[in-house]
Chain A
Amino acid sequence: KQEVTQIPAALSVPEGENLVLNCSFTDSAIYNLQWFRQDPGKGLTSLLLIQSSQREQTSGRLNASLDKSSGRSTLYIAASQPGDSATYLCAVRTGANNLFFGTGTRLTVIP
């Protein structure tokens, strides 16, 4: 069974700093990987989707990379803002269309 790990569980940074969130998975036979953001009491909002054939995807200040062979993905956030404070989750989709989620990284950006 695919296992997805996100480290660290929590992260605090001052406003303006660049940061990297990590996601690792045990089975490299994935179909795609998706990064989400979740605000307290809300559902998950999709940020970026990377197909297994891709190495990275970018959206604004966000850049997600994928290294299937090592079972890792990173989410890079440039010039962090207080509004970026949220929990960030990654999810791995297998070829059988099953999704496996990490437990998330809770990010706090301090003004």
Chain B
Amino acid sequence: TQLLEQSPQFLSIQEGENLTVYCNSSSVFSSLQWYRQEPGEGPVLLVTVVTGGEVKKLKRLTFQFGDARKDSSLHITAAQPGDTGLYLCAGEGGSEKLVFGKGTKLTVNP
């Protein structure tokens, strides 16, 4: 069974700080997706990483896929209150199914 462990589970920081969220597994994934979920809504895709070692940037968000395609990280620079939400990583193992981590609940205080 493929599992994705996310850490930390909860993170509360002040506006302007930097943070990193981790997503780890013992399994290899063909791709990894990061989603953000706000209260009362479904998850929304932020990015998909496919190649080992790949780095993608989305404004102040930087996503990295591990060389062995077993882990990923999300770094946010100068966090803003609008970044508040639940961040989920999801691995694709070769079929359409995604394996989701339990998420990191981020709160950015003004």
**Do A and B originate from a single complex?**
no
